[in-house]
Amino acid sequence: MSQTPLNLPLVALLALAGAAPAHARPEAKSTAESTAESTAESTEERPLRRLRPVRNMIELGVSAGAFVFSRTHDFYDPATAPQEPLRRVSPDFGVRAAFFPLSFLGIEAEFAAIPAKYEPGGRAGFYGRAARRVRE
């Protein structure tokens, strides 16, 4: 009877694989654990709900930027004066305030101003204002 020799490197590799520490081998999660994790994830609020206004919340904001006028702007009264060139780039400033007496209902107001200058000399002012009711 002939015996075939065992391949020692293969046996050593199999022994090491079986003796690997538990944290090195991926383990399947039990059904109860995976169900508990999915329930915890589903109870977490969505960003729109998590970031909604709260009762008696006040918001304040400021803005600054630049306004670029067109070379052929229509900021003049054709009945009284011809168009005068404005300086192309002017600063733009704004403020905003909001008040939410209820978590789903509020009011907000904003104001923006653009102080401008005419090319030959002189000043012009442009402004915008708005107020609105907010319902969320």
Per DSSP (E only), the strands in 10-122 are 57-68, 89-102, 105-117
User: Residue 110: CB partners within 8 Å, gap ≥ 6?
Assistant: 94, 95, 96, 97, 129, 130, 131
User: How far is Cα 49 from Cα 39, in angstroms, rounded to an integer?
Assistant: 18
User: Can you give the pTM of this predicted structure?
Assistant: 0.56
Confidence of residue 6 (pLDDT cuts 50, 70, 90): very low
Judge whether residue 13 has pLDDT over 80.
no
User: Residue 91: CB partners within 8 Å, gap ≥ 6?
Assistant: 64, 65, 66, 67, 114, 115
| pLDDT (tens digit per residue) in 97-134 | 999 999 889 999 999 999 999 887 888 899 999 999 99
The answer to whether 97 and 109 are in contact (CB under 8 A) is: yes
Q: Where are the domains of the chain?
A: 52-135
DSSP 8-state code for residue 6: P
